[in-house]
Every structure is written in C-alpha cells, then in structure tokens.
Amino acid sequence: MSELPFAATTPVSVARVGLKARDAESLAAYYRRVVGLQELSRADGAITLGAGSRPLLVLEPDASAKPDDPRSAGLFHTAFLLPSRADLGRWINHAISDKIAIEGASDHLVSEALYLTDPEGNGIEIYADRNPRDWKWNGDKVAMATERMNVPAVVGEVPAGDAGWQGAPENSIVGHVHLRVGRPEEAEAWWNQEFGFDTVAKYGGQAVFLSSGHYHHHIGANAWQSAGAGRRDPARSGLAWVEMRSDNVAGEITREDPWGTVIKTVPGKA
C-alpha cells in the first residue's frame, strides 16, 4: 500500500469538500466513473464519496439551487491528490480509454496535474506531487510554474502488465482546494490569521497560495474570473463548505471566510 501523501501529514490539511448539487445522483455517478471515488455512505439525502475508507467529497442535494456563477466567489477546483506518479499515469490511461474531456495537463514543478470540470461546473484537478525533497524554495516561497506536462513520461511510470486504473487508490486525498475570491490579499490575510497558514507563492495581485507545514499549497485563492466579488449567494449550487483537519484544535469549529464560504475544522490526525 502507498504511503499517505505529504500534504496530509502537516499540522493542518484538507479533509473533505462539500458541494451543493442540483442533481446529486448524476454528480455522484460522474465522480465514481471519472475520478474513481467510491460511494461510502448516505445520510439525509447527502452522498459521501471517498477513496478506501476515507471520505473526501460530500454531495448535498438541492434541486432548486440556481447554477453556480463562475464570476462569483466559490470553488475554482477541488484537487484530488493521487499517491504516486504511476497512479496519475493509470488515471491518464483511464481518461483516454473512457474519452474523458480534459481541459489542461500541466507541470507545476512541484506537481503534475490534469484539469476538468464536472457536469455542474465544479472544477477538478487530478494530480500527483513530485518528491518534496525536489521542490525548490527561495526562503519561504516555493517555485511553481505552469508548463506543459510530459504525458508520455507520466504514462511510462505504469509498469508493464499492470492491472491499470482500478479507481482512486487508498491514500488518495484532497490535497488542496483552490477558491474563487474577490480579493486575494484579503483571502491571504484571513488564512494567515485564522489558520496560521504561510504564504508560499503569489501571482501579482491575482492569486495567492497558502499552506501548513511547508507544503506547496493547501489553499489557493484567485480573482482571475471573480475580481471584486462579494459574498457568495447561498442559493447557488457549487461549493457548500471546505473541511480542514487540524492538530491544533480540540473540537469542531465552523468559520466563514470574507465571502461567506463555510470553512469547518475538525481535530485529529489524517
């Protein structure tokens, strides 16, 4: 069995993401087929999906919800972190064979990632980290870029005769969540203050990346489409909440960021 990714071993990490779904059944089927998540439980209409026994995504049905507005505050993407580069290669082969629409494939220096969008407009990243020992730091800032992924090299990590993609492997996690915000500097200040996160990268005034424990980022926040956005409309589908796991709390805590996005915190180890 693979080890738990470094992203989950830091003092604070992402645990689960909640989405408000206009058609929870169809969305659950998509995440099972495309991302390889398994249905773990149902309660009060909500569908919990995950990898192994680890819950990662909760779909909360609301058939009356208005569609998400990509210009508003909310979710840019949920980033599902696979344990190894070979797992990412298996997923790429799965995407090719199942004709899954991919919107991008990038080498970020610290990681290699593919991007897609679910049927209700929620962004998804499927990625694998490079070895943290190989990340380049300049003081407290990490070097990240967006270059073209060497797809054949990633697929080449899959051993000959391998059984191929069998769904999201055990120890897959939500490595990070990237948010749409009105002002990245306001998001930066909030995550610095409320979670003690370090600012590890900035792209001008348009995007900021924050983390715990020297990870490349647990939270991204950008205003690429949402500059000046105010509080999120709770009647829209899309992001319902983000749950963080923390070594530093004794009980559950619920906060709202400056755009009304609900950020839950739960105690305990990953």
Bridge-based pairing state of the strands 123-129 and 74-82? parallel
Distance, CA of 222 to CA of 119 (rounded, Å): 22
pLDDT at residue 270 in the model: 66
Mean pLDDT value across the chain? 97
Q: How confident is the model at residue 268 (pLDDT cuts 50, 70, 90)?
A: confident
Residues in the chain: 270
In this predicted structure, the answer to whether residue 81 has a pLDDT above a threshold of 80 is yes
Residue percentage of the chain with pLDDT more than 90 = 97
Q: Is 9 helix (H, G, I), strand (E, B) or coil?
A: coil
Domain boundaries, the chain: 6-267
Q: How confident is the model at residue 3 (pLDDT cuts 50, 70, 90)?
A: confident
pLDDT at residue 2 in the model: 62
In this predicted structure, the answer to whether residue 264 has a pLDDT above a threshold of 80 is yes
* Closest C-alpha to 175, from 65, 54, 45, 259: 54
* Closest C-alpha to 87, from 173, 216, 17: 173
Class of domain 6-267: alpha beta
DSSP E strand boundaries for 214-267? 219-222, 238-246, 253-256, 262-267
* Closest C-alpha to 242, from 173, 189, 169, 176: 176
pLDDT one-digit tens code per residue, 109-128: 999 999 999 999 999 999 99
Q: How confident is the model at residue 93 (pLDDT cuts 50, 70, 90)?
A: very high
pLDDT at residue 53 in the model: 95
- The token pair at 35 is 């991302």
Q: How confident is the model at residue 62 (pLDDT cuts 50, 70, 90)?
A: very high
Between CA 235 and CA 259, with CA 69 as vertex, the angle to 5 degrees is 70
pLDDT one-digit tens code per residue, 162-216: 999 999 999 999 999 999 999 999 999 999 999 999 999 999 999 999 999 999 9
Q: How confident is the model at residue 6 (pLDDT cuts 50, 70, 90)?
A: very high
In this predicted structure, the answer to whether residue 1 has a pLDDT above a threshold of 80 is no
